[in-house]
Structure 1
Amino acid sequence: MNGTNSKNNPVRLQAAHWLLRLEGSPGDGALRNEFESWLQQNEAHRAAFRSAEHTWARLGKLPPELIATPATPADILPLKPRRRPRIFWASAGALLAAACLLLVAAPVIQRHLEADHITGVAELSDVVLPDGSLASLDADSAIAVDYSGAERKVILLAGQAFFQVHPNPDRPFRVNAADLSVRVTGTAFSVDKLASTVTVAVQSGTVEVASPGVAEVSRLGMGDRLVFDRQARSARQEQVVPSTVASWRSRRLVVHDATVGDMVEILGRYLPGMIVVRDGSMNGRSISGVIDLTQPREALNALAESQHGKLSQITPYLSVISKR
């Protein structure tokens, strides 16, 4: 399968942009009329928009009940100065949540257009690749597959994946994540792409990892893990228990010396909406333990409490971690 043939179809991109504009301005009649005109131009437009709507609903990023509808003049009541009714704050909260979630949803829709395989919130999936190799996708993850050239290539667009590769010395298997490149012939390993790091861990076999800014290629064997710092452009190598590699496949996450910021991002794959850490100094702190991914909300609360913080659920789709 070639992952580059139809990912940037302009009609699909237009449909995604229409969805974002309509969700952001539900009461704009002129915008709605312009959209209806575009929709009626041909069946391709209608099919692309149906696909975009299906993706939005499946990923659960922005529920329709959070889209605030502007009040009509008949709904407006005279108020005393410096007083705000409860309905104002409720509407303001909904608008804030909707705005935040739109920021989250835009890259998610773009990712869907680029991906061959994608998972939603708290969804795990096993994908059989064209050569029979297996890719297991963590929640909120996406890959693009390109077997058209001399190499078998997979791009990790987001999230985390575990690969069990069928050996073929004449046609290497390569995984790209950000600027990191992992080359193998046959092995089992995981790649995790976060905002701050990309991590490669080997359960069995060997891999070669080329890191940007690192002159030498890193050779990893069973139980080796390489953590690449995307900002510092540096890598460190460490040992892990092989059986703990990709432990998330059994809904159990073994964490050793991870940062709070990374853990918030990982747990965010299992919770709809977005998580905000008000005190940025928390993000760099280290944490270790075993996390039950079947109870992500409880795990997030425990994480906050371990840092002497508290978790506040503003809406079902907006959570805030702050200091006590």
Structure 2
Amino acid sequence: MKTTLQNQASYFFTCKKEGFTPAQQEAFEVWCEENPEHQEAFENVQKMASLYATLSKNVKDEIVQSVHQEIKREAIFRRNKYFAIAASILLVLCLGVYERYLAFFVPHSYATEKQTQQVLLPDDSTVLLDVKTKAVMRYANTKREITLEEGKALFDVAKNPDRPFIVHAGKLNIKVLGTHFEVKNYNNRVEVSVIEGIVSVETAEKEPLATLTQGKKLSFDTQNNQMSLKNVPIANIASWKEGILVFHDETLQSALDEFKHYQDLNISVQKEVQNFSISGSFATDEVDKFLRALTKIYALKVDKKADALYIRQKL
């Protein structure tokens, strides 16, 4: 219904712009009187057209290119005898694409709690935000920019050599042209894992740290500025989207931090055992199963006091 109304409003806007014929003028007046929403839709098209006219040539060119990806311009004119009808269809497409662009030229904030959220960018790149994640997205003429303030996100980036895709996370900048990768940022730690393509990582001061390819993972401790690199199975990257946590030679402390991201847990660990190596897969709500397995693998004991747990070596 909304699309039909916008089509009608765009048609009459085009007629008015080109100069109403008597028949078009009469049809427009009847249409406006039929429903207050008609006049409102017409005014919205006028506003969007005015905003569109203020855009730079580069942005307009991008919008036109996006429109051409959805429909061939020549076909519109072959199927429609009258210019006003064809032009109004193009206007609907251009304004529709522009609305998508406009939403991201202004910084857009996201904050998830108990559910993931997928965001589609104007260039068809996608960002999947995990639970308890905060991010700010900006879409500018020369770059695509996202600040991952906290949490996890999986990026599938459309290639565009003229507009790099930059993720700011903690003290790091992650820069790509087109690829598929995951970024984590919480508990004073930033991790970047690559599913496909090439990702360059640098500090906020523009100091290069590493260039990552498929199956590579960078971990960066933002407290002591220490970095580590390792290989990870591609299938394990962003397993959280399936509700699974996969640990591949992770420390005990980092594994527990993962569980804490999905549950309200009060668990502390004896300093001497924080770096014990952990491998395996568990559902995000299976911390009890994880703790049982932990005490079977290592000589560890889990002390429980009220709602708090403490993991230590057995005496």
TM-score normalised to the size of structure 2?
0.58
Q: Give the % identical residues.
A: 28
Q: 208-217 or 168-177, which moves further after superposition?
A: 208-217
Contact 1:167 1:186 in 2 (8 A): yes
Residues 273-307 of structure 1: per-residue CA shift (max 9 Å, x gap): x4230533332332121122243443355446655
5 Å-filtered alignment, 1:175-214, equals 175-211=167-203
Partner of 2:281: 290
5 Å-filtered alignment, 1:13-162, equals 116-121=109-114, 123-148=115-140, 150-162=142-154
5 Å-filtered alignment, 1:213-228, equals 215-228=207-220
Which residue identity does 1:265 align to in structure 2?
D
Out of 212, 234, 252, the position equivalent to 2:226 is 234
Paired with 1:311 and 1:119, the residues of 2 have a C-alpha distance of: 33
C-alpha RMSD over aligned residues: 2.6
Q: Whose helix proportion is higher, 1 or 2?
A: 2
Residues 110-150 of structure 1: per-residue CA shift (max 9 Å, x gap): xxxx98222224x3332223432111122222211122452
1:227 positional shift: 1.4
1:217 positional shift: 4.2
Pick closer, same or farther for the CA change 1:301–1:152 going to 2, 3 Å.
Answer: farther
Contact 2:201 2:209 in 1 (8 A): yes
Contact 1:115 1:142 in 2 (8 A): no
Residues 47-86 of structure 1: per-residue CA shift (max 9 Å, x gap): xxxxxxxxxxxxxxxxxxxxxxxxxxxxxxxxxxxxxxxx
Paired with 1:162 and 1:185, the residues of 2 have a C-alpha distance of: 15
Partner of 1:97: none
TM-score normalised to the size of structure 1?
0.57
Which residue identity does 1:262 align to in structure 2?
S
Q: Secondary structure at the match of 2:255?
A: helix
Paired with 1:296 and 1:206, the residues of 2 have a C-alpha distance of: 34
Out of 142, 159, 163, the position equivalent to 1:171 is 163
Paired with 2:268 and 2:164, the residues of 1 have a C-alpha distance of: 41
Q: Secondary structure at the match of 1:131?
A: coil
Could you say which structure has the greater relative contact order, defined with CA pairs below 8 angstroms and 6 or more residues apart?
A: 1
1:161 positional shift: 0.9
Residues 168-206 of structure 1: per-residue CA shift (max 9 Å, x gap): 111111111101110011100001113242111100011
Pick closer, same or farther for the CA change 1:175–1:213 going to 2, 3 Å.
Answer: closer
Query: Mind listing any 5+ residue stretches in structure 2 that lack a counterpart?
Result: 1-106
Pick closer, same or farther for the CA change 1:278–1:252 going to 2, 3 Å.
Answer: closer
1:154 positional shift: 0.7
Query: Mind listing any 5+ residue stretches in structure 1 that lack a counterpart?
Result: 1-113
Paired with 2:205 and 2:277, the residues of 1 have a C-alpha distance of: 25
Which residue identity does 2:112 align to in structure 1?
T
Residues 12-53 of structure 1: per-residue CA shift (max 9 Å, x gap): xxxxxxxxxxxxxxxxxxxxxxxxxxxxxxxxxxxxxxxxxx
Residues 234-282 of structure 1: per-residue CA shift (max 9 Å, x gap): 322221222221112112222112122211211012113x423053333
Pick closer, same or farther for the CA change 1:117–1:302 going to 2, 3 Å.
Answer: farther
Larger-Rg structure:
2
